[in-house]
Structure 1
């Protein structure tokens, strides 16, 4: 008796219906995408407008019809870099940023290590409190003290004022990073004959390089962009870039082209540093986020 059953290979398969995501999940995905687009545009559009305006004349900046289509000019950058001696301001900003960061790391890294290993969390809270205090509330007493010491206008007063903000930041970042490093490595090094200071210098400090890089980069970015301290405490020869931008602002008018070109000069170096060091910043912050 012959079988009339159809072979399995010839049985047509019915495709499974694609399972749709719940409405709440799809709504959240759309909301997240729209929120990301809005946030990106909020950050990118002002920078894009600043870059375009730096290559426009003041007449073109006020002309809405030339928002995107215009004849570019380098006159604004010539005014900034050629006539107003902005290279001196760039040197001042770089010197103050690197000097204050180096001194803050020299003091803050050992302090953070001691606070981490000896559980001095209350002391760390007091140090962090200095980061929370608004800097504007300290400008008047600072100016009074440094004026009596005849230090206003020197590099030293600007470096010290920037250290006041950079040092608590470095201590906070490095303390979290040292908390994540196991103490067994230091104990093993001391068993092998190293002193506690030697174990810190030869074992812990090399392992904490990502955290040091993170703290140093953030400190440099703060110091480079700082305006308030330099406005009050700097002199004619120690003026920094953010303060020098005010040369394009007068009582009667504003040179928007020169102002935008100067803003580009201030922004581009720090953006380049952030782009090339973002992996160190991310690795340093994530390394100090977990213990193990």
Structure 2
């Protein structure tokens, strides 16, 4: 075998080993969702078993998971839309008017662990009557998505030529119109990337939902607790619920992966 072919084969094997290493937990979760409780706990049925859809029937029929899916989607979509509505103009202003201190403040807000917000947010929302409301859940999730969107979009707006905007101003276009019709269309990869990641952060958020959500607004990550009790864990149904949480995000990421790669790489090579 030629050295070049041997190197390529070794590179392929290493990539496959790494892929298998990272995919194994997901594959185990997926297979466990089609097993009975006895099969999940038995090492003899790790690879060979008779699939059953009983766990998914349990998830949707006995625990009304469609309601939790609707809650998670509504909260994630609304918080992402709100973060984009506020974050895009903020990122543009920071980039165009060279405000590094504001950018640093946004970075600090992004770095601070979300758990530090729990107590003050609970006290504030309890005073305002926003516990177990969609407004409170959306606002709390925007705390995560908004700084991320601003920080990702700043490099995109910094690379857009200011002269192009100035020429449109001379022709009578307003700043807002130039921003909407000229700057935003060019920044689509960054917008899609930041919006998708903000959506995923909100979809998977657990801490804020655990404290601020109730029966009315309970999202999927909290609904998983339905299968955990003090005496036993329904592993099959738990894995089925985990698959329901994971698969929509995986599908969306696969369809939009070209935007994610181009968006993150564009921000990385900036400057």
User: What's the counterpart of residue 251 of structure 1?
Assistant: 230
1:87 & 1:111 partners in 2: Cα distance? Answer: 36
2:85 & 2:22 partners in 1: Cα distance? Answer: 34
Q: Do structure 1's residue 181 and structure 2's residue 150 form an aligned pair? A: no
User: What's the counterpart of residue 210 of structure 2?
Assistant: 231
User: Per-residue CA shift, 1:139-191, capped at 9, x if unaligned?
Assistant: 11111111122211111111111100100000001101111222221122122
Distance change >3 Å, CA 20–CA 233, structure 1 → 2: closer
Q: Output the TM-score relative to the length of structure 1.
A: 0.87
- CA contact under 8 A between 1:179 and 1:288: conserved in structure 2? no
- CA contact under 8 A between 1:105 and 1:170: conserved in structure 2? yes
Q: Do structure 1's residue 94 and structure 2's residue 73 form an aligned pair? A: yes
Q: Do structure 1's residue 36 and structure 2's residue 20 form an aligned pair? A: no
User: What's the counterpart of residue 58 of structure 2?
Assistant: 79
User: What's the counterpart of residue 33 of structure 2?
Assistant: 54
Q: What does 1:70-219 correspond to in 2, within 5 Å?
A: 70-219=49-198
How many residues of Structure 1 are paired with residues of Structure 2 in the alignment?
270
Q: CA deviation at 1:243?
A: 0.5
1:187 & 1:281 partners in 2: Cα distance? Answer: 30
Q: CA deviation at 1:89?
A: 0.1
**Structure number having the greater helix percentage:** 2
2:202 & 2:233 partners in 1: Cα distance? Answer: 26
Q: CA deviation at 1:86?
A: 0.3
What secondary structure sits across from 2:131 in the alignment?
coil
Distance change >3 Å, CA 287–CA 236, structure 1 → 2: same
Give unmatched runs, 5+ long, in structure 1. 1-17
1:117 & 1:262 partners in 2: Cα distance? Answer: 45
Distance change >3 Å, CA 59–CA 206, structure 1 → 2: same
Give unmatched runs, 5+ long, in structure 2. none
Q: CA deviation at 1:35?
A: 5.2
Please provide the CA RMSD for this pair: 2.0
Out of 34, 38, 45, the position equivalent to 1:66 is: 45
User: Per-residue CA shift, 1:183-223, capped at 9, x if unaligned?
Assistant: 22112212222122222122112211221111111111111
2:121 & 2:94 partners in 1: Cα distance? Answer: 28
Q: Output the TM-score relative to the length of structure 2.
A: 0.94
Distance change >3 Å, CA 46–CA 68, structure 1 → 2: same
